[in-house]
Amino acid sequence: MSDVDLSDEEHEKCREAGEILAQVRDEAAERVEVGVSHLEIARWAEERTRELGGEPAFPVNISIDEEAAHATPSIDEDTTFGEEMVNLDIGVHVDGWLADTAVTVDLSGNSDLAEAPEAALEAALELVEDGVSTGEIGARIEEVIDDYGYNPVVNLTGHGLAHWEQHTPPNIPNRAVSQSVELEAGDVVAIEPFATDGSGKVGEGNEAEIFALENERSVRNRDAREALDQITDQFRTLPFATRWLDVDRPEMALRRLERQNVVHSYPVLKESAGNLVSQKEHTVIVTEDGCEVTTER
């Protein structure tokens, strides 16, 4: 539900972000091949975003097989793609107005699993309009994924997008729920079905390369202070990657900031049974009688 009505100018910036993002997503997906490095794809997509006039809204997520979200390469990572299920989740902002999208590139030979969230998203988009309940959308997503013989990931949801905020209400579930809210015309939301051949739940792993500002406060350590200055100036409240920091020993600086509750981490989320996860996501602007998909070409 909208807390405030966005102006035409603000919606236009959401559209601009979506247009840039749709191009970056498609071009990045075409570059994902066996033997290509994760870091090469992430850096290319983030730089391509800037070339097209946007800024990354968060680090490019490259999730492999059982990984569902929050995986991004470290500064010196040399991991390359194998015969795996690859999820690309990418965000763009224009002056803080966001678009968010994701696609599965299947190199593993599990095309039905890759297709399931895409079909679920298409069905969900047919329902979106002013007054539709988020529970109804979730039920439709669950129904389609179930028809494919898979489970939705039930503890991941779609979400609202706001100025400089990647995740805001309303949550848009990937299953039928008893409590929900109604979408309103003007809402900007990301709908993102996840499908799995596993249990349907994800949990946090031990690795984290993505962080976001939690509380702005004074810090004594020089590297940590320089990192905080860059975070507040460039990223504000949006997620960022360790490899984005232009300071000496960025990992150490972030550990200090995390201990002082200045930043919080986003641990990699993994399917709890270790099974494959696929994903598809679009950002939409809700209208009176439907929706406008900003991340579709």
243: which DSSP letter?
G
Identify whether 89 is a catalytic site residue: yes
pLDDT in tens, 17-40: 999 999 999 999 999 999 999 999
> Does residue 288 share a domain with residue 248?
no
Report if residue 39 sits inside a domain: yes
Chain mean pLDDT for the chain: 96
Q: Is the pLDDT of residue 1 over 70?
A: no
> Does residue 171 share a domain with residue 66?
yes
> Does residue 245 share a domain with residue 167?
no
pLDDT category of residue 7 using cuts at 50, 70 and 90 = confident
- Does 130 count as an annotated binding residue? no
pLDDT in tens, 104-138: 999 999 999 999 999 999 999 999 999 999 999 99
> Does residue 283 share a domain with residue 229?
no
- Does 147 count as an annotated binding residue? no
- Does 38 count as an annotated binding residue? no
Please state which of the ranges 71-75, 116-120, 189-193, 218-222 shows the lowest mean pLDDT.
Answer: 218-222
> Does residue 137 share a domain with residue 219?
no
> Does residue 178 share a domain with residue 77?
yes
> Does residue 241 share a domain with residue 114?
no
> Does residue 177 share a domain with residue 32?
yes
Q: Which of 93, 159, 163, 282 is catalytic?
A: 159
Q: Is the pLDDT of residue 6 over 90?
A: no
- Does 122 count as an annotated binding residue? no
Report if residue 126 sits inside a domain: yes
Which tops the pLDDT comparison, 81 or 3?
81
Report if residue 18 sits inside a domain: yes
> Does residue 223 share a domain with residue 176?
no
Task: Specify the pLDDT at position 255.
Answer: 96
Q: Which of 16, 66, 84, 100 is catalytic?
A: 100
Report if residue 1 sits inside a domain: no
> Does residue 224 share a domain with residue 90?
no
On whether the CB atoms of residues 7 and 95 are closer than 8 A, the answer is no
CATH number at residue 145: 3.90.230.10
CATH number at residue 214: 1.10.10
- Does 65 count as an annotated binding residue? no
pLDDT category of residue 5 using cuts at 50, 70 and 90 = low
- Does 70 count as an annotated binding residue? yes
Strand, coil or helix: 53: coil
Range of the domain at 152: 8-206+274-293
Q: Which of 115, 136, 143, 167 is catalytic?
A: 167
Estimate to the nearest angstrom the gap between the alpha carbon of 297 and the chain centroid.
18
Identify whether 9 is a catalytic site residue: no
Over pLDDT 90: what percentage of the chain? 96
Q: Which of 10, 38, 281, 282 is catalytic?
A: 281
The residues near 191 (Cβ < 8 Å, ≥ 6 apart) are 121, 124, 125, 128, 137, 158, 172, 281, 282, 284
Q: Is the pLDDT of residue 186 over 70?
A: yes
Q: Which of 16, 66, 106, 192 is catalytic?
A: 192
Q: How many domains does the chain have?
A: 2
Identify whether 100 is a catalytic site residue: yes
> Does residue 255 share a domain with residue 109?
no
Task: Specify the pLDDT at position 15.
Answer: 98
- Does 100 count as an annotated binding residue? yes
Identify whether 159 is a catalytic site residue: yes
CA distances from 295 to 5, 87, 101, 139 (A): 21, 16, 7, 23
**CA nearest to 115, candidates 88, 68, 150, 67:** 150
Q: Is the pLDDT of residue 279 over 70?
A: yes
Identify whether 27 is a catalytic site residue: no
Estimate to the nearest angstrom the gap between the alpha carbon of 238 and the chain centroid.
12
pLDDT in tens, 145-156: 999 999 999 999
